[in-house]
Amino acid sequence: MKLLVKKLTENAQLPRYGSDYAAGMDLMANVSIDVPPQSRRLVGTGISVSWISGNCENAQNYYLRIAPRSGLSVKNNIDVGAGVVDYDYRGEIFVCFINNSLDATYSVKAGDRIAQMILTRIERFSDVDVVESHEETKRGEGGFGSTGK
Domain-located, residue 59: yes
Domain-located, residue 19: yes
The pTM (predicted TM-score) of the whole model is 0.86
Domain-located, residue 145: no
pLDDT of 145 over the 90 cut = no
Q: How many whole angstroms separate alpha carbon 98 and alpha carbon 118?
A: 19
pLDDT per residue over 28-46, tens digit each?
999 999 999 999 999 999 9
Domain-located, residue 144: no
Residue 32 has what pLDDT?
Answer: 98
Domain-located, residue 45: yes
Domain-located, residue 136: no
Domain-located, residue 148: no
Domain of residue 38, CATH code: 2.70.40.10
Domain that holds residue 43: 2-121
